[in-house]
Amino acid sequence: MSENTTDVLVVGSGIAGLASALAAAREGAEVTVATKATRPEGSSSWWAQGGIAIARDDPEQFKADIVEASSGTADHEAVDVLVDGANDAVRDVLLETLDVEFDEAEGDDEFDFGREAAHSSDRILHVDASTGKHIHVPFLNYLDDHEHVEIRDDTAALELVRHEGRVYGAILESDGEFEPYYAGATILATGGIGDLYPRTTNPDGSTGDGIAMAALAGAEVTDMEYIQFHPTVCVAGEARSASKRSGDAAERDSPFLVSEAVRGEGAVLRNGDGERFMPDYHADAELAPRDVVARAVKTERDETGEVTLDVSPLDFEGEFPDLVDKCEDHGVDWEDGIPVAPAEHFLCGGIDVDDRGQSSLDRLYAVGECSRTGVHGANRLASTSLLEGLVWGLRAGEDAAGNDVETIEAPELLERDPELPENFAREKFHRLRRVMDEYIGLERDPDDLTRAMSVLRRLKGEVDAYTRTRTSRSLYELRSASVTSLLIARQAAENDRSVGCHHLVEDEQDPAESTADD
Ligand code: SIN
């Protein structure tokens, strides 16, 4: 195989990308994994806390919980694929191949199964509250040693190489140099869109690259309005973090997630007056569906100044030592309650795929958060994202192996210019995040969505004009962010049904007109 070709090109290195690489390699394919990440922490999977849900011995109830959390909008066939494949995928890959040591139980159960919001039973495998890294690191190490897999880190995909509805690979950028990379099949596993919001649980660089590349190549992208906000992200002393890749040195907050598992163990939410409020919002109180809890936390913060997570009902130190360490690192005195707020967490929609991860374009697959399998509908059940990545990753990798590599003429990229002017990127990201935060957050007003579309359309035009004159990774990330946010705005504006993460409110006033539009 020549230097710039591979049987299967996987873009992204979270659990979905790694599972597809593993499955393709098991089929005998040569696999290249191209990832922007330079460390395991660069991938969302590393940050996953709660864990990975499995079917145990009651798959039908697990399916019912997924559908219920989505307010009946999840695709039943996709849910069957997920749940029917869960136990085998977890046993095969996580237990037998990677030897992940999930927390064990003291009684009859083999494992200490946890519970999170909207689950009707304990079915979540976890390692303390840092499950992601305990899966992700051994997975990376395993594939690093695999004779059929090459992992190229600090490598971005800028554009798909395509012709007449078929994808032949991607233009990869590494160290400022870019070149076409041809593959029998290309699998996008680029993760989420956290960089589009000021507060997120995603790592830096979550600019929706795969979704933008696929959409620009003509692939179908759907359900983009269903963006999940996690209700409990610690915001004590919200540090202003640098997000250099996004050209934004002083804007993104760096909060940290406080897993829903903590509420699963009994923690309660209190408002600024010290009152527990969730029973007033939902019969399941703190374990109501995530969108309900997130909106309630926002309302109580707006009305009473703050919301804290009271962990006194549980043995926080004994159950969640990793979170205790995190609190201490951030100077949070958890015994007084952890100050929390909602933050962008997970995109339920994305590149439309079938039950094997195949997109609407030939030889293009998508897996994990950048894909839309239909499992989540309008709202995702907790601890199903690692599972979805694993199950669909395996299916897509197996399906993608075995295609011949063909080369075609790749698009010409302009002369490289790694020095995207700081101010240009900072100003554009700043404007984009304000629009997303003010107009397309937890609650949406139809008029605001129309306004958002026109601001984002203008912004995309400005970024496109720049892209026509130069090439750099950060410029392409900005382009991905602008394409993806416009898709979100457009699909949100087109959906007049308030459901799950797409919560519509009446147009009471127009507070944002003079701010986000500026
Ligand atoms: C959490 O631990 O609360 C997050 C789990 C998830 O997003 O599925």
385 lines ligand 1 (CB under 6 A): yes
Distance CA 412, CA 455 (A): 30
| HSE-CB for 126 with a 13 A CA cutoff | 28
13 lines ligand 1 (CB under 6 A): no
Residue range 426-453: mean pLDDT, rounded? 96
164-215 pLDDT, tens digit each: 999 999 999 999 888 999 999 999 999 999 999 999 999 999 999 999 999 9
Give the phi and the psi of residue 383 in degrees, each rounded to 5: 60, 30
Give the phi and the psi of residue 487 in degrees, each rounded to 5: -60, -40
466-484 pLDDT, tens digit each: 888 878 888 899 999 999 9
259 lines ligand 1 (CB under 6 A): yes
Q: What's the 118 CA to ligand 1 centre distance in angstroms?
A: 12
Distance CA 120, CA 499 (A): 21
Report the nearest atom of ligand 1 relative to the CA of 383. 8
- Helix or strand holding residue 395 (H, E): helix 385-400
Q: What's the 381 CA to ligand 1 centre distance in angstroms?
A: 9
Residue range 400-409: mean pLDDT, rounded? 91
Among 227, 257, 265, 319, which residue has the most ligand 1 atoms within 8 Å of its CB, making it the best to mutate? 257
- Helix or strand holding residue 134 (H, E): helix 131-144
pLDDT at 516: 46
Give me the chain's average pLDDT, please.
91
Report the nearest atom of ligand 1 relative to the CA of 129. 2
Q: What's the 481 CA to ligand 1 centre distance in angstroms?
A: 24
Please list, in sequence order, all residues whose beta carbon lies within 8 angstroms of the beta carbon of residue 302, skipping any fewer than 6 positions away.
Answer: none
**C-alpha dihedral sign at 122, 127, 133, 136:** negative
Q: Is residue 197 packed enough to be buried (19+ CB in 10 Å), middle (13-18) or exposed (0-12)?
A: buried
Confidence of residue 55 (pLDDT cuts 50, 70, 90): very high
Q: What's the 217 CA to ligand 1 centre distance in angstroms?
A: 32
CA distances from 499 to 150, 177, 382 (A): 42, 45, 17
Task: Please report, rounded to a whole number, the percentage of residues in the chain having pLDDT higher than 70.
Answer: 92
CA distances from 343 to 157, 234, 235 (A): 27, 9, 10
131 lines ligand 1 (CB under 6 A): no
Residue 79 has pLDDT above 90, yes or no: yes
155 lines ligand 1 (CB under 6 A): no
Order of strands, sheet of 371-372, starting from the edge strand that comes earlier in the sequence: 221-222, 350-352, 371-372
Please list, in sequence order, all residues whose beta carbon lies within 8 angstroms of the beta carbon of residue 370, skipping any fewer than 6 positions away.
Answer: 12, 188, 189, 190, 191, 192, 208, 210, 211, 214, 347, 350, 351
Report the nearest atom of ligand 1 relative to the CA of 49. 2
Residue 37 has pLDDT above 90, yes or no: yes
49 lines ligand 1 (CB under 6 A): yes
| HSE-CB for 477 with a 13 A CA cutoff | 29
Q: Comparing C-alpha atoms, which of 405, 392, 404 is closest to residue 359?
A: 392
Q: Is residue 177 packed enough to be buried (19+ CB in 10 Å), middle (13-18) or exposed (0-12)?
A: exposed
Three-state secondary structure of 179-214: EEEEEEEEEECCCCCHHHCCCECCCCCCCCHHHHHH
> Using an 8 Å Cβ cutoff, are 212 and 480 in contact?
yes
CA 107 to chain centre: 35
393 lines ligand 1 (CB under 6 A): no
233 lines ligand 1 (CB under 6 A): no
Among 124, 259, 323, 347, which residue has the most ligand 1 atoms within 8 Å of its CB, making it the best to mutate? 259
261 lines ligand 1 (CB under 6 A): yes
Check residues 226 and 469 and name the one with the higher pLDDT.
Answer: 226
Q: Comparing C-alpha atoms, which of 248, 151, 247, 169 is closest to residue 472?
A: 247
Q: Is 473 a catalytic residue?
A: no
Confidence of residue 421 (pLDDT cuts 50, 70, 90): low
Q: What's the 382 CA to ligand 1 centre distance in angstroms?
A: 5
Residue with the smallest CA separation from ligand 1 atom 1 is: 259
Distance CA 372, CA 404 (A): 26
Q: Is residue 102 packed enough to be buried (19+ CB in 10 Å), middle (13-18) or exposed (0-12)?
A: buried
126-154 pLDDT, tens digit each: 999 899 999 999 999 999 999 999 999 99
Please list, in sequence order, all residues whose beta carbon lies within 8 angstroms of the beta carbon of residue 511, skipping any fewer than 6 positions away.
Answer: none
Strands 149-152 and 31-34: parallel
Check residues 254 and 485 and name the one with the higher pLDDT.
Answer: 485
Distance CA 26, CA 355 (A): 19
Residue with the smallest CA separation from ligand 1 atom 7 is: 382
The answer to which of 113-127, 186-200, 485-499 has the lowest mean pLDDT is 113-127
Rg (the chain; Cα; Å): 22
Strands 31-34 and 5-11: parallel
Distance CA 55, CA 306 (A): 37
383 lines ligand 1 (CB under 6 A): yes
Among 49, 228, 256, which residue has the most ligand 1 atoms within 8 Å of its CB, making it the best to mutate? 49
Q: pTM for this structure?
A: 0.93
Among 115, 228, 260, which residue has the most ligand 1 atoms within 8 Å of its CB, making it the best to mutate? 260
295-345 pLDDT, tens digit each: 999 999 999 999 999 999 999 999 999 999 999 999 999 999 999 999 999
> What is residue 266's three-state secondary structure?
coil
Distance CA 375, CA 359 (A): 15
Q: Which of 199, 252, 270, 290 is catalytic?
A: 290
Residue 98 has pLDDT above 70, yes or no: yes
Among 103, 230, 375, 385, which residue has the most ligand 1 atoms within 8 Å of its CB, making it the best to mutate? 230
Confidence of residue 250 (pLDDT cuts 50, 70, 90): very low
382 lines ligand 1 (CB under 6 A): yes
Q: What's the 129 CA to ligand 1 centre distance in angstroms?
A: 9
pLDDT at 414: 65
The answer to which of 92-96, 105-109, 168-172, 321-325 has the lowest mean pLDDT is 105-109
Confidence of residue 162 (pLDDT cuts 50, 70, 90): very high
132 lines ligand 1 (CB under 6 A): no
Report the nearest atom of ligand 1 relative to the CA of 385. 8
Distance CA 448, CA 437 (A): 11
Q: What's the 161 CA to ligand 1 centre distance in angstroms?
A: 35
Distance CA 457, CA 323 (A): 41
Confidence of residue 415 (pLDDT cuts 50, 70, 90): low
Distance CA 414, CA 513 (A): 37
CA 500 to chain centre: 17
Residue type, 426: R
Domains of the chain: 5-226+348-400 (3.50.50.60), 229-344 (3.90.700.10), 424-513 (1.20.58.100)
